[in-house]
Amino acid sequence: MTKIVEEFELYGKQYRLETGELAKQATGAVLVTCGETSVLVTAVVSNQERDYDFFPLTVDYIEKMYAVGRIPGGYLKREAKPSDHGTLVARMVDRPIRPGFPDGYKNEVHIVATPLVIDDENLPDTICVAGASAALLVGGAPFDGPAAAVRIGRNAETGEFIVNPTNTEMETSDLELTIAGTADYISMVEAGAEEISEEDMLAAMTFGQEAIAAFCEKQSAFLARVNPTPMDYTIHAADPSVAERVDAHLAEMSAALKDADKAARMGKVEQLKASIIENDFTEEERATWGSDIKAALKSLEKRAMRAMIIETGERVDGRTPEEIRPLYIVPGYLPRVHGSGLFQRGQTQVMSVCTLGMLNEWQRLDTIWPEEGKRYMHQYNFPPYCTGETGRMGAPKRREVGHGALAERAILPVLPDTDTFPYAIRVVSEVLESNGSSSMASACGSCLALMDAGVPISAPVSGVAMGLIKEGDDVVVLSDIQGIEDFLGDMDFKVCGTPNGITALQMDNKARGLSVEILARALKQAHEGRAHILKAMLATIDGPRAEMKETAPRIETIKIPVDKIRDVIGSGGKVVRGIQEETGASIDIQEDGTIHVGATSGTAMEAAKAMILGIVKEPEVGEEFEGEVVGIKDFGAFVKLTPGKDGLLHISRVANGRVGKVEDVLNLGDVIKVVVLEVDPKTGKISLDRLDKPDAPEGSAPARREDRGHGERRERRGEDMRPGRAGRTPRRRHESN
């Protein structure tokens, strides 16, 4: 294939699609560029059908630090496992691409997105979706595209929507909406917002769908120039008798599904499936049609559940479509931790725990994204036991990273700034039971934990997951979906927010023909569900606690002159380490002279603050100090006034009367009271006088002049006392030779 390039401008930004030069052994490869950000996206489609009961699509987003001109951190100096950002991008690509393949297609598909260059303004994630779509279509894959993704921002002052805003444009945006799909339907939505209304969010989604259609049109023009050859493929078709035998048990499946208890319901369904396999199929048929029988049984369960809702309006647990499961909410569930909250909705139970720390405990990020780190960290854990299963526990999977990011995004808009609350904040949500909507339970649990910890959030946050059952023109929107409704339904639409508006949402859509009217209905129903849940939360804790827990660190902020930072840190950090070791406090020093002092003890806090302020304090004339004698010379003693300042107490002022030697009155380590007599404006040297002077001891007066030795008299006359030169007078420089 010859090199083909399509350049175009949309919504004020330049784009480029290119194929035919790079990675030519892949099924399809496209270099997609926005500004100077370029990502190579390859797609490989296996020519061998797999015996799976699912579509085997794999998406990898491989971050390359060279793309931003940096060397990876760590010992290996090589890119290792994907960052959370990288994992989220891979999920973003997977979700709009997966529905575009035909049902029953079981050839393995592997998409790899590799960012080659990242400029300072244009992010690579949304263009990866267009690159994946174009790479598949260039290779002739059976993909129902084109598909694209856009990020929608909104200027907070003008209200104008921005397509794929730059990093600079995002600084003034109160919305970050990522939406993906085709020209005809939306398949994926992610959003974070500063409490915007449902109407504004719907308007942004409608605008985003129009922008996607424009990008799909440009992609079609590119593909028309490529003129790809469609690949030959087959769709696996099961023997018709499989579905006939399984479908005969629809009434039995409907009866088995009617149980509010998840474990009991799953037990009945699995027992029925096992009975159908055993009694309706021979051993030879089971061996031949194994995956087909499993697929037919799954389809039977899906049809029974959906028919129940469409025809009767009743869900498997007996709820109406708008009804929320019973709630059990306990803030402050755990002792000693800084904050905690137990949130249970039906058979989904999440324990969220909040930990407060110094700002220097923020999470530093070594990625290709402009974000250097984050002060608020939310982590979501989904162990196997929460669904009654066994399994291996290790690094968080894509689902855990995605759910954690959603709950984090939901809370961020209501957090206080560092000037108001100078803490790093970590919340961990442990899913203890799961039957759907665990991500929304973690958002609610996180809000409880933050309020229990005394974090002054601006408004409480709650969340709910919405579902959809769509059969032809029949549409039912479900509030607070459980696992089976997510798995067998058409939509998983999670909405978080405060009473003032939406802070985050996420949607995966399996149903084509999802209209704006359906989305509006889902948002309205979600608003009602969020309000119901939030009312129950506030009945247990009406806002952030006025006092933090005794175990939480207290952090106070002080400001020092920038030129004093070196004095507080000391050579090699010696001074600040000494303060921390002596007091037990933690100290975080900023470049602008802001110092955060943290300690769980008030005594430690005050001691550390006093030491820091003492270092930077400039003694003034007339100010009194109680200081330690840290040095003794013939002419006087040096007294430590502050950790960074000494003053000179002349020998004439150490006692009442004449003193021959300072040691007759003072010793190293003595603590005495002094007053500042003078501060030299040029050198900063400090002269002191002693308060409460003792009388000079007898015999301490200096020797009389006539009693001094000859050597002393000659030295005072200026005679040269070096060996061999006794009695000579040193020659003056102005004397002639």
Residue in the structure block whose two tokens are 């005679």: 719
**486 assigned binding-site residue:** yes
List the Cα angle 539/545/546 in 5-degree steps: 135
Q: How far apart are CA 326 and CA 316, in angstroms?
A: 15
Helix H, strand E, coil C: the string for 602-620 is HHHHHHHHHHHHHHHCCCC
* Beta partners for residue 647, in sequence order: 639
Q: How far apart are CA 264 and CA 256, in angstroms?
A: 9
Q: How far apart are CA 32 and CA 23, in angstroms?
A: 13
Length of the chain: 737
Q: Taking the CA atoms of the chain, what radius of gyration do you get in angstroms?
A: 37
* Beta partners for residue 152, in sequence order: 163, 177
Give 241-253 as a DSSP string: HHHHHHHTTHHHH
> How is residue 295 written in tokens?
């697929």
> Are 317 and 478 in contact, with CB atoms under 8 Å apart?
no
Pairing of strands 376-381, 424-433: parallel
> Are 93 and 59 in contact, with CB atoms under 8 Å apart?
yes
> Are 690 and 641 in contact, with CB atoms under 8 Å apart?
no
Pairing of strands 686-690, 645-650: parallel
Tell me the one-letter amino acid at 500. N
> Residue 28: what are its φ and ψ, rounded to 5°?
-155, 145
Residue in the structure block whose two tokens are 């100090």: 625
**492 assigned binding-site residue:** yes
Say if residue 146 is preceded by a cis peptide, omega within 30 of 0. yes
Angle in degrees, 0-180, between the axes of helices 84-97 and 125-138, rounded to the nearest 10: 40
**CB proximity list for 270: less than 8 A, separation 6 or greater:** none
Q: Where would I find the beta strands (DSSP E) of 207-262?
A: none
Q: How far is CA 170 from CA 57, 123, 295, 372, 378, in A?
A: 33, 11, 45, 16, 22
Q: How far apart are CA 477 and CA 495, in angstroms?
A: 14
Q: How far apart are CA 567 and CA 16, in angstroms?
A: 54
End-to-end CA distance of the chain: 98
> Residue 641: what are its φ and ψ, rounded to 5°?
-90, -45
Helix (H, G, I), strand (E, B) or coil at 431: strand
Q: How far apart are CA 652 and CA 510, in angstroms?
A: 93
Q: How far apart are CA 303 and CA 469, in angstroms?
A: 11
Q: How far is CA 607 from CA 573, 586, 598, 614, 641, in A?
A: 18, 12, 11, 10, 16
Numbered residues of the known binding site for Mg(2+)? 486, 492
The annotated binding site is made up of: 486, 492
